[in-house]
Amino acid sequence: MPYEPPTPPAKLPTDIIETLNEYSEEQLQHVARYAEELAEHKAREARLEEEPDGDEITDRPDDLPDDVPSKATITIKEINDNRYYYWQWREGDKIKSKYKGPVHSDQSE
C-alpha cells in the first residue's frame, strides 16, 4: 500500500496548498519553522496589546534586569537550531527584546 501525503487543513487556501506542494523538503522545513515563529510573534503581539499600559506593576521578578520593564514577558527564540530565552515588551509600536539566556533541555519555560 503506497504512502499517502497528508491532507491539508480545510481552512488553508488552495493557492497556498498548491505552492507548498511544489516545494522541496528543505524549503518546507524552512516554511514550517518560519510559520511557527510568525504564529508565536503574532500571539505575543496580541498578548502585549491586551495588557494594560499602566507601569504600576509591583511584583518584579528577581532575575529581571534593571533596563527591562516589569511588564516584560519571557519568550523563546530558536536561532541556528539553538533555543534562547529573551525578555520582550512593547514600547509604542515596537516590540523590544533583551537576551536572558540559553534554554536548557532539563529546564522548562
pLDDT, tens digit, for every residue of 49-104? 776 554 444 455 667 777 888 788 888 888 888 888 888 888 888 888 888 888 87
* pTM over the 0.75 mark: no
* Grid cell listed for 19: 505552492
Q: What is the pLDDT of residue 58?
A: 44
Cross-strand pairs, 82? 79
* Grid cell listed for 90: 512593547
